[in-house]
Every structure is written in structure tokens, then in C-alpha cells.
Structure 1
């Protein structure tokens, strides 16, 4: 096969998954409503840069870079489609990078299979349409992993450090991939000079990230709702990485196990040696830490999912190799992945032999000499028809298998495109308030974070009177604004004959005891001095009209 044909095959192996992911990402992108996390992105990103900076000093510092990025994006047009479009782009980039990684570590058809598997995974499709940073973080981690492979094989180290530093600033838990990369280098038994250069890059990433870690550590109350993960958390993560259907999950895990057996301690970068640490180490470390201080959520380690399709594709390649040898009735000459030298340049693809001692190659690595390449081509450079059919036929069979996986998981992808597949419907709440509440009517948010529906969709709340609000969120540098104290709240409610309450599913009418004194005062006043006259329920949010039990007290 000529070099030009080889390049075309490699480009096709990357382009096909990219097109598939782009189609899945754009499909149903405007689902008609933001849920609570997207609403935070939307309302924060629309603030001025000084207001965003003011916010980050008290809350959400971990998402600061993402908010600044989205501020520029939404300046073009503040809408739901544009809110989610960067995540689509991140998922598309991650898909192409997964395919490129499989191609570089093994061969184009492995990259093709891995990229397609990544694209049709429901978890990837879900976060491709989330107005949050997780898809972009996944793209950054896979990109950094690809740059690691290039650097180990003789490339420059600074692109690896820069990409990983920016990725960690998008979400600080991406720093756990450094542990995965260290494991990859250990499995490959790289020379000491490679460890030194990687250590310098990793140290620079940690130094850049350290100020953000110190600030976000003081904002740890934001994740106080998280619980320590258990065995079921591990099962759920595996299901999300591969797909919850047993028809898909079983074979997927078998292929991963077959690929895992290929991770030997030898002087090269194998697909399993790169993908297995990426898939396992970040979730395992975060789950372990969360036994002491709960920090784990599966979206925080979305980037680790990239290792699963790479392993499955490598396992499928191993099965294809065994079947090919059985078909031909003899053992082929073992091949090694292309570009396995730690020196600069592209390896020929033959077995590695020690090079004579001499100066280190580019990047400080030890040069390795390649044995003469064993070509399967004829004298005119063409691939024999039988080899072409076997190779292309195997690639096509893998693509058809991925199509079958897509058909099995298609109902999950389709359901995820509906607005009612998210925990709440803030657009529906705003529309409901617009129909039922008249301009000038008093409204109480219980707890205050339910004000997010008014911040995300202010049209439905136009003209209403926010009883508890003291200072708007943008001016106060908070997510939901500053509220008055209990005494002032009692005074404001004291002269009202009725009040509309926008509440979460856990309050009022439950055993919920809010820690904030103003929230406790709200709960006590509406349950003791008012009765429910009307009630309207939307997914995750309830709108109630409360009327006073007796004549109102004069305001003091």
C-alpha cells in the first residue's frame, strides 16, 4: 500500500466517526428547555466579565474558565442551541481524537471502530448536548493523551503540557489523568529521559492548577450533596461507559478483557497500555478519595470513557487476528503497532531492535533501530487482493457491528433528546407562572435556588414581586441573589393575603429542615400562616398559591 493510500485510509478512519458524532450531537439539539445546571451556565455566562469574576470568588470557581468561554459564545446570540454547541464540538473533537489515537497506536480500522463506538455511546451523546464543560474536558484529555504518545515517540512535550493545563482549568478533576499517563509510561518502560520530560510537563500542569484548587477547596459546600460511591456506583459507571443493555455490555466487557491481556510490560506503547489506565485510574482514584470526602460523580470522569472503546476495538482486532490465522492455517509474522520508536519520526512498522549507543534523539529519548520492514505488497506496490479483502472486510464487519450497537441503544439516544428526560423543566415552570401569576403578584422561592427558573426564563416572571429578594444575583456575585433576613421576611409577608410559592420537590410538606435561617422562616411562615388554595406540578418544581388562614396583620 502506498503512503498516499495509507494516509487516505487513516483520514477516513477519523472522518467517518467524526461525521457520525456530529449527526448525533446536532440531532434534537433544541429540545425546548434548559435544566438546572444548564440554566446556571446560561445566566452566569450572560453577565459581564467583572460580574463573573465577582461570582467566582464565592462560588463555582471550578467552572470559571468555562463561564468565560461561554460568555464569548453567548455574546453572539443568547440561545439554547448556541449554549450547547460548544459541547457538540467537544464531543466531535473527542471522537476524532479517539479514532486518531486508535489509528496511531494500532491501525486505521482499530481507530475507526474505537471512534464509532465512542460516538454511539449514550453517555457521550448525553453530554454532547449539555451546556456544561464535560464534553470539552473529554476532548482535552484525549487530545493530551494523543500528544503524550507523540511526545514519547520523539515529539515535543510543551503541547502536551499546554493542552492538559487548559483542560484542567476547565475542570480540575481532569488532573487525575496524570496518574493514568504515569501508569502508561511505566507499562511501556520508557527511558529515564522520557520520565524527566514528562515530569517537567506534569509539574507545570500542577503549578498552573494549584491556585484554582486552593480557591475551589474553600467552596467545597457546593458538592456537599454527593454521597460516597459503592459497588453499585462501579456497576453504573461500567454500564454508562459501554451501554446499559446486556446485549451490548456483555460482549463489550469481553472485548475489553481481551485487550487488557495485551498490556504487557514491554518497551512500546500498546493500545491497552494507553487505554486501560485512562479508563480505570481516574474513576478509581476519585471513588477512593470519595470514601473519605465524597467528590465522585460519573460526569466528573466522563473523559475516562475514551479508554473503553479503544480497549474494545483493540480486543476486536485481537479476535480478528486469531480468526485470520485460523482461516489461513498458519501463523503470521507478528506485527507491532506503527510508530513504536521512542525517537523522532515515523517508524516503519517492523520489529524493534536496539540501536547502537549514541546521542539521544529529539526529545531526549533513546533512539531505536528498526529491522527491515516485511511488506505484504507485490513488486509494483499494490496490496494483494486477498489481503485487501481480508483487511477491508474486517473493517466493514466491525462497522456493521457498531451499527448493530447503535440500533440497540437508539431508544436511549432518542429519549435523551426530549426535555422531559432531564430532572426539571425550567422553561415549563416559567410558562406556567406566566399563565397563572398576574403582574404585581408576590412570589416566594423555596429554597432560593428555585429562582433559577426566573433567571433562565425571565419572560414568564415579568412584573411579579420577588418577596424575599434583597439584591439581584449579578450584583451580589452569587448564583441566585441575596435574600433578606428572617425578620424582614416576616414583615414583608405580614401584610399579604396570598403568595405564590415556587418550591422544589422536597419543600414544603416534608421533613426537610433547611440550614439557612431565612429558608427556615419561609417554611415556617407558609406552613403555619397560610393554606394551599391551588397547586400546579411541573417536573421537579411545584407552583402553589397560598392564602392566609385569617385576616392579615398590619405591617410594622
Structure 2
């Protein structure tokens, strides 16, 4: 357990301060810094699925009495990833042998997708830790039985599902394991009681989050290419690592079914890696819900299968080696050879890990936007955010916006129980803009596309006033955000440009 956890911790801490937050992290940051009543009020209208995570992060950020930044925001994910690597190792050692656990834990730690979410100020690494812990408890309960074991399993899985409701798909994986193990009726009854308790505890969140489904309206239906991409992410993005791991994973399936009632490692790992993502992809054919991070926890099954296949190879090599030598099926030399193979896989993927730790690799860098505002704007300059969620840079880095005046804001996010605040009506906005000769606009790039028509009247009024009453004087584009200076035509002519 110790070696995979230490490696994962080192990889997670490497380049943790990569730069500014991107918008999802900014949401975590600004919501977690609210009071508990303000967070509770927000969850009734938006982001209920992340409610428990926001409350946990509220405690984390409150522990820093100063001004917590990106590193503090991401540290829980780093620690959770290290715990998951240790749990993967424990699962492999318990159901197979210690070297299988060691290899699987190390493989998990060096997987680029794991390293990516280990450095995200979001819930997905914590969900992966909870799901792997629940799987370990499930394997124990299915093997040893007992009411207490099933209660512990249900409690851990229930909390994990409250961190993100799609963790409930883990129940499909565990049911698949019981089928492959040909478990007794007693085991099935114990699991059904635990699963029923988890499902019942999750009902309130399901009801509330269903009413907030418009938040994921941007998702599209996954296709075969999506599935192939996820498989590559699970086994290794680079060609050499991918094909080697795929071959070993297939070898790991050679003992998928053991004796009746026996829970084999392959019977745990295969359903874990396959069933949650496949179920979410199939459901997304009706209502798009799939994103790879929603099933990050399922990745734990892949390194377990790869390590199991490597153990099969090591066993064959040990038996084929000439007698009288130090090489036997259980030889430490073979264990060391497997560790060196993981190191080789890591070196192939170092460029991917390195590139993931530089500013600008996420969809956007709100820190860069905020720094540009601090450098460029003067005290009292009016600012317009189009659409309203472009205000995320201000909410994440308020110090860089202290000199500015938010023209459209009527009530702040914490006061209004919203993420980005409540804006004034279209008529009020027009009156406010009538009194300014220049305005800075923080705009999403898609709002610049010809034909863009916002749904809300205030957003349409912003766009109409800028296009009809102002001309563009200056522009800076930072990732998906444009910072634009608009001036009235008379000032543009006096300045000699237009």
C-alpha cells in the first residue's frame, strides 16, 4: 500500500500550482467560501449533486484563515488519489497476491487520467477513493459475510454516492461480480439489503438533481469513438503502453470464474471497469449524461486486470526458468521486473503528465483573465459580463476586480442563492449603460460568433447595446474568454481610431 500511495502523492504534488483555476474549480472555490446557510440555499436551485463536496471543501478552505488559493483547493484531490492507489493495491493483494496489488497500485498512480483529476479542485478523485473503498468492503462482505460487513459497505457507498450520484452505478458492477462468483442466496440477500439502503438514501438527491438537469444540457451522445477513447485513457494513452496493457488485461481474464462462491480478482475488476461506463453511455443515448470524469472511479478495475495478467506471465516465466536458479514463480526478482515495467510505462507517459501541469491545459485559465483585468483596467471602470457566468473570473479572483464596477449586477451570488449573482432587468441595464462612455466586456468567445442570440432578455440587451451604441477599441483573447474595450463612437473618432 505504501509504495503506490507515495508515488501517487508525488505525482499529484508535482506541478500542483500549475496556474489559475478553470471555471469548474472556480465554482468550487467561490461556493465553498460561502457560509453553510448560503451553500444550503444555493443547492436548492443548482449543483445539488455536488452539495456534500462543497460542504467538505468549506471546512478545508476555512482551515486556512488567510486567502486560500489553488494549492489548498486541490490538495484534497491529491490526498484522495493517493488513498485510492493504496486501496487498489490492497484489493489486488487481498484477492490475488501482494505483487499483484503492488503492480496494480503503481499502475493506477502513473495513469495520466488519474494524475489529471488528482489535480482538480472537484469531487471526482474523492469519489474514486470512496468507490474503491466500497469495492474492498464489498469483496470482504461477499467472502466472509456478516451483517456488520454489509452495513459498512452500504455506509461507505452511500456517502460516496452523495459525493456524486453517478457512483450508484457501482452497484451494477458489484452485482456483476456476484453473478460471476455464483454467490449464494445469503450473499445476494445481504447485498440487496445494502444496495436498497444506498438507493433509498439517494432518492432526495435524485429528485432535486433531476430538476436541475438543464445544467448538463451541453452534453452530447457518446458514440463508439467515445468508448474507444475511454479505453485508451484507462489503459494508457501512448500506443506502446496501451497495447501492452490491453494484452495483459486480456490475459488477466483467464481466471474470471473460480469455484462457486469464490470472488476472484478478475470477477471484481472486469465489471468495475466495464459496467458503470457502459451503463452511463447507454443511458446517454436517451438523455446525454456521459462525461469521462463521472465514471473515473471505474478506472480502478483496469490496472487490476493488467497486474493480474502480468502475474500470469510472471508465473509462466518462473516455471520455465531453469531449475536451480533464483528465479521461481514467486521470486522477488519477478516482482522487481514488474515494478521496472511500470517505471518504463511511466517514462513513456511523462510528456503527457508534464504537459498537463502547465497553465492553459485546462479549458480556460480564469487566473490569466483576472491578471489581465488587474493590469489593464483603471479604478472605477465599468465591466460587463456576457453571459453572466463569465463573472467566474471575478468570483475566483475578487482582488483583481476590486477597482471595477459591475454594471449589470443587482445582487451577489451568496445573497441571491445563485452561482453568479442576480442581474438587473434589460431596461435598468440600458439606463446604466447610457451613463457611460466606455465599458469593458468580459465575454465568452462563443458570444462573439455572428448569429449568437442569448435566451435571457438582459443578455440580449447587453449584446444589443454593445453592438448598437459602442464600437470596439481594444481586445485581448485568453483561452475561451475575450476581454474587450467598447467606447462610444464620438470618443473613438477623437482618439483617431474606430
After TM superposition, the score normalised by the length of structure 1 is 0.85
1:252 paired with 2:245, answer yes
Asked if structure 1 preserves the Cα contact closer than 8 Å seen for 2:131 and 2:160, the reply is yes
CA–CA separation in structure 1 for the residues paired with 2:51 and 2:279: 24
Aligned length: 485
Q: Is the 8 A contact 2:441 2:485 kept in 1?
A: yes
Q: Which position in structure 2 is the counterpart of 1:233?
A: 226
- The yes-or-no answer on 1:212 pairing with 2:199 is no
- In 1, distance between residues paired with 2:322 and 2:330? 11
Residue 243 (structure 1) aligns with = 236
**1:76 Cα deviation from its structure 2 partner:** 1.2
In the alignment, is residue 472 of structure 1 matched against residue 412 of structure 2?
yes
Displacement after TM superposition at 1:115 (Å): 0.3
Q: Which moves more between the two structures, 443-452 or 236-245?
A: 236-245
Q: Which residue of 1 aligns with 2:125?
A: 135
Contact in 2 for aligned 1:168/1:175 (Cα 8 Å) = yes
> Which of 498, 502, 506 lines up with 2:438 in the alignment?
498
Residue 173 (1) aligns with residue 166 (2): yes
Residue 312 in structure 1 maps to residue 306 in structure 2? yes
CA-atom RMSD, angstroms? 1.6
Residue of structure 2 equivalent to 1:6: none
1:49 counterpart (20, 33, 36): 36
In the alignment, structure 1 residue 292 sits paired with structure 2 residue 232: no
2:29 is equivalent to residue 35 of structure 1: no
Give the structure 2 partner of residue 11 of structure 1.
Answer: none
1:529 CA displacement: 1.7
Which whole-Å CA distance do the structure 1 matches of 2:129 and 2:185 have between them? Answer: 29
The answer (yes or no) to whether the contact 1:122–1:409 under 8 Å persists in 2 is yes
Aligned twin of 2:345? 405
Structure 2 distance, partners of 1:243, 1:530, is 51
Give the secondary-structure state (helix, strand or coil) at the position aligned to 2:474. Answer: strand
Equivalence map 1:170-209=2 (5 Å): 170-209=163-202
Q: Answer yes or no: is 1:433 the counterpart of 2:373.
A: yes
1:126 counterpart (109, 116, 119)? 116
Aligned partners of 1:187 and 1:266 also within 8 Å: no
Give the SS at the match of 1:544. Answer: strand
Q: Is the 8 A contact 2:317 2:329 kept in 1?
A: no
The one-character-per-residue Cα deviations of 1:397-419 (angstroms, maximum 9, x if unpaired) are 10000000000000111111112
Determine which structure has the larger helix proportion and give its number.
2
Q: Is the 8 A contact 1:508 1:523 kept in 2?
A: no
State the distance in 1 between where 2:329 and 2:180 align.
34
2:73 is matched with 83
Contact 2:248 2:306 in 1 (8 A): yes
Residue by residue over 1:270-309, the C-alpha shift from the partner in whole angstroms, topping out at 9 and shown as x without a partner, is: 1110000000000000000000000000000000000000
Instruction: Give a deviation string over 1:423-462, Cα, whole Å, max 9, x none.
Output: 1111111111111111111100001101000000011111
**For 1:181 and 1:197, how far apart are their aligned partners in 2?**
12
Contact (CA 8 Å) 1:508, 1:527: kept in 2 or not?
A: no
Please say if 1:67 is aligned against 2:60: no
Label 1:134 to 1:148 Cα distance change in 2 as closer, same or farther (>3 A).
same
Paired with 1:313 and 1:499, the residues of 2 have a C-alpha distance of 59
Q: Please name the residue that 1:109 is paired with.
A: 99
Post-superposition CA distance 1:145-185 (Å, at most 9, x none):
00011111215211101100000000000000000000001
> 1:451 corresponds to which residue?
391
Name 2:496's counterpart in structure 1: none
Deviation (angstroms), 1:390: 5.0
Cα displacement (A) at 1:387: 6.2
Q: Which residue of 2 aligns with 1:335?
A: none
1:443 counterpart SS class: strand
Larger radius of gyration: 1
Q: Which ranges of structure 1 fall in alignment gaps of 5 or more residues?
A: 1-13, 330-383
Structure 1 SS opposite 2:321: helix
Which stretches in structure 2 are left out of the alignment for 5+ residues? 493-498
TM-score normalized by the length of structure 2: 0.95
Aligned-pair CA distance for 1:327: 3.0
Q: How far apart, in 1, do the equivalents of 2:121 and 2:449 lie?
A: 32
Using the TM superposition, give the Cα deviation of residue 79 of structure 1 relative to its aligned residue in structure 2, in angstroms.
2.0
CA distance in 2, matches of 1:266, 1:494: 79
2:156 matched residue in structure 1? 163
